[in-house]
Chain A
Amino acid sequence: MTGRLLETAPGPGFADPVADSQRAFRAMLEAIARPGTVQAIGAELTPPAPLSRAAAAALLTLVDFETPLWLDAAARQPAVEAWVRFHCGVPLVDDPAAARFALVADPMGSLLPLDRFPIGEDAFPDRSATVIVAAAGLKSGSGWRLSGPGIEGEARLEAGGLPLGFAAAWQANRGLFPCGIDLFLTADDRVAALPRTVRLED
């Protein structure tokens, strides 16, 4: 019995939940305050596949019983479900429109259309989804041209593994301002952000 429990028990979360979530949060805060920069999340984690360390740290840092979470098909593995339920106590929802946070492990297949996620309301634009996306790689200094709040002039950001048409979909999302979703791009232990204010050109 004990053996079976150990086999199916979810793996560990943060080693030091207080300090690790603070470091991860500051990395995410820096990323969203300065779009185009890539930040290290700074925590040792061994999350279940297909979660990257950064995506897992983002979940541990931000989601809990107050924030319904939507997992895309690639992330909706029993091990992932058990892990986020155990560590975050988060309700999982089947409808992306009901989510406050979304985790997209397979952006090619399930990131678009972006307007599946709640965009908030004119009076409460903060009630929009925060989407955590698994990118194939993140690089500052080349790729998209970004401009907007948080950026002095122009910044460059390259994110691998995103679907064709993402830039156009993002422009449409930007056009909804002050409504719109916010995106965290994650790869390995690194994170970058696209707040809804960011203008993005190929």
Chain B
Amino acid sequence: MDGYNFAYLDEQTKRMIRRAILKAVAIPGYQVPFASREMPLPYGWGTGGIQVTAAIIGTDDVLKVIDQGADDTTNAVSIRRFFARTTGVATTERTAEATIVQTRHRIPERALSAGQIIVFQVPIPEPLRWLEPRETETRKMHALAEYGAMHVKLYEDVARHGRIATAYDYPVMVGGRYLMRPSPIPKFDNPKLDRSPALQLFGAGREKRIYAVPPWTTVVSLDFEDHPFEVQRWESCCALCGATDSFLDEVIVDDRGGRIFVCSDSDHCGERRAAGHVGPQPDALGQPVAEEAT
């Protein structure tokens, strides 16, 4: 794109972000402050993830962008177009073909491999923020590994609801040292964070933090011996592909209360249907939309 540097950011900004990323990888789970730039889209739309992607992406990369698991939602489409225009790299909707996956709110169902980097868009990076609003205090709590407040919060869940009611952005311990907020992924995805062969990078633009989980690093969801961590389950399967082991979205299909459950990961669902898997209502959402031209 004329008038802009490759991947939009200027080279000094990339250097600054690259230094932050290297320190983030060296200190798994620790939030590295960085001089987040103003991006050509508002905070809350993935400016942190975009800056991380812009700092790492090269002409050989193949980029996939998802929002809530889907490649065809507004946020995903606009970020994918942004990088297609500012870098000219190949983009894909297939998890298996991507070298970089930028994501909002999900981790793909297909297990990531060692050659891949997943970049999370993070709104609030500080896991203790709703418990302690002062940055000076949360910083001390991280320095001292003083995470009792989070256990109290989870205990209050148990006391009030009989179980840990936190369903997304479920707190994890990284490498046995840092409490980390895995961005608002459903806790269904938490097990995928643990010992992943892929490098996982997290960018929070408004809050100006970058953090990382290196490959093969332990990521443990907090729990109690008598209330162990567990992921949500559904009674139905995906209406389109019949999957029983994927994260399902509830979709209203008419104005008479009709509803179905479908895979949140659109690529996973499409792959399964292409392989011949059929759910109970394969035509419930009409014909699939043709792939957009980028």
Q: Footprint of B on A, CB under 8 Å?
A: 17-19, 21-23, 25-26, 28-29, 32-34, 61-64, 66-67, 121-126, 128, 130, 149-152, 177-178, 182, 195-197
Contact = CB atoms under 8 A, between A and B. Distances in A.
Contacts of B32: 126
A21 B7 CA distance: 13
Contact of B58 (A22, A126, A151): A22
Contact of A126 (B15, B27, B56, B215): B27
Contacts of B16: 66
22 contacts: A18-B5, A18-B6, A19-B59, A25-B56, A26-B56, A26-B58, A32-B26, A33-B25, A33-B214, A33-B215, A63-B15, A64-B15, A121-B143, A123-B140, A126-B30, A128-B23, A130-B19, A130-B23, A150-B215, A182-B23, A196-B27, A197-B26
B15 A125 contact: no
Nearest to B198: A33
A31 to B, nearest CB: 10
Query: Looking at chain A's contact residues, is the secondary structure mostly helix, strand, loop, or mixed?
Result: loop
Given A22-B58, A149-B216, A17 B140 contact: no
A152 B197 CA distance: 8
B21 interface: yes
Interface residues of B, number: 41
B28 A197 contact: yes
Given A152-B197, A182-B26, A197-B27, 13 more contacts: A17-B11, A18-B5, A18-B11, A22-B57, A29-B199, A33-B25, A33-B214, A62-B22, A124-B33, A150-B214, A150-B216, A151-B216, A182-B22
Contacts, number: 105
Nearest to B35: A66
A19 B15 CA distance: 13
B79 to A, nearest CB: 19
* Chain B CB within 10 Å, residue with most, of A21, A29, A126, A130: A126
A166 B18 CA distance: 27
B217 interface: yes
